[in-house]
Amino acid sequence: MIDFELTPKDQEIINLAREQGKIAQRYASYYDRHEDELPPEQFPEANGLPNPIDLAEEASDSSGARILHSLVMHEIYGAGIALHRSRWGLGNTVLDTVAAPEQIEKWKNHTIAIAITEPGAGSDPANIRTTATFDRETDEWVLNGEKIFISQAESADAAMVFSRFVDANGQRGMTTFLVEKGTPGFTVGPQLRKLGIRSHDTCNLLFENCRIPEFNHIRGDFKSTMSVFNDSRPMVGAMALGVAHAALDFTREMLAKSGIEIDYRGSIRSRSAITDRFLRLEATFEAALLTVLRSKWLEQQDVPPKVEASIAKAAGGKAARKITQGCIELLGPEALAEDHPLDRCFRDGRIFDIYEGAGEIQRLIIARSILDYTSRDLR
Active site residues: 356
Could you tell me the smallest distance in angstroms from the CB atom of residue 108 to ligand FAD?
A: 20
CB of 203 to ligand FAD, least distance (A): 10
Residue 379 interacting with ligand FAD (CB under 6 A): yes
Nearest to 148 by CA among 127, 121, 175, 177: 121
Report if residue 222 touches ligand FAD, rule: CB under 6 A.
no
State the Cα–Cα distance between residues 227 and 305, nearest whole angstrom: 10
Q: Which listed range, 144-152, 238-246, 288-296, 331-339, lies at the site for ligand FAD (CB under 6 A)?
A: 144-152
Is residue 299 within 8 Å of residue 316, measured between CB atoms? no
Instruction: For residue 150, state whether it binds ligand FAD (rule: CB under 6 A).
Output: yes
Residue number with CB closer to ligand FAD (116 or 330): 116
- For position 114 contacting ligand FAD by CB under 6 A, the verdict is yes
Does position 279 bind ligand FAD by CB under 6 A? no
Site for ligand FAD in 193-212 (CB under 6 A): 194, 197, 202
**Choice between 116 and 247, CB closer to ligand FAD:** 116
Determine, following the binding rule CB under 6 A, whether residue 42 of this chain makes contact with ligand FAD: no
Residue 243: which of 166, 152, 177, 322 has the closest Cα?
322
In terms of CB distance, is 197 or 320 closer to ligand FAD? 197
Q: How many CB atoms lie within 10 A of CB 351?
A: 23
Could you give phi then psi for residue 50, rounded to 5 degrees? Answer: -70, 155
Are 321 and 350 in contact by the 8 Å Cβ rule? The answer is yes
Q: Which residue is nearest to ligand FAD (CB)?
A: 122
Told to check if 117 binds ligand FAD by CB under 6 A, we report: yes
Q: Does 360 help bind ligand FAD (rule: CB under 6 A)?
A: yes
Contact 134, 151 (CB under 8 A): no
- Only segment of 25-33, 107-115, 136-144, 262-270 that touches ligand FAD (CB under 6 A): 107-115
Rounded to a whole number of angstroms, the minimum distance from the CB of residue 79 to ligand FAD is 20
Q: If binding is defined by CB under 6 A, does position 123 make contact with ligand FAD?
A: yes
Query: Could you tell me which residues are beta bridge partners of residue 161?
Result: 115, 177
The candidate with the shortest Cα–Cα distance to 114, out of 77, 72, 86, 81, is 86
Q: Is 122 in the site for ligand FAD (CB under 6 A)?
A: yes
Q: Is 189 in the site for ligand FAD (CB under 6 A)?
A: no
* C-alpha–C-alpha distance, residues 147 and 189, integer Å: 10
Q: Which is nearer to ligand FAD, 339 or 360 (CB)?
A: 360
Q: Which of 163, 351, 352, 365 binds ligand FAD (CB under 6 A)?
A: 351
Query: Binding of ligand FAD at residue 151 (CB under 6 A)?
Result: yes
Measured between alpha carbons, how far is 234 from 293 in angstroms, rounded to an integer?
8
Q: How far is CA 168 from the centre of its chain?
A: 36
Q: Which of 198, 110, 118, 201 is nearest to 164 (CA)?
A: 118
Q: Does 158 bind ligand FAD (CB under 6 A)?
A: no
Q: Which of 232, 219, 228 is nearest to 101 (CA)?
A: 219
Interaction between residue 130 and ligand FAD (CB under 6 A): no
Nearest alpha-carbon partner for 165 in 138, 129, 139: 129
C-alpha 312/C-alpha 272 separation (Å) is 31
Residues that bind ligand FAD (CB under 6 A): 113-117, 122-123, 149-151, 194, 197, 202, 351, 354-355, 358, 360-361, 364, 379
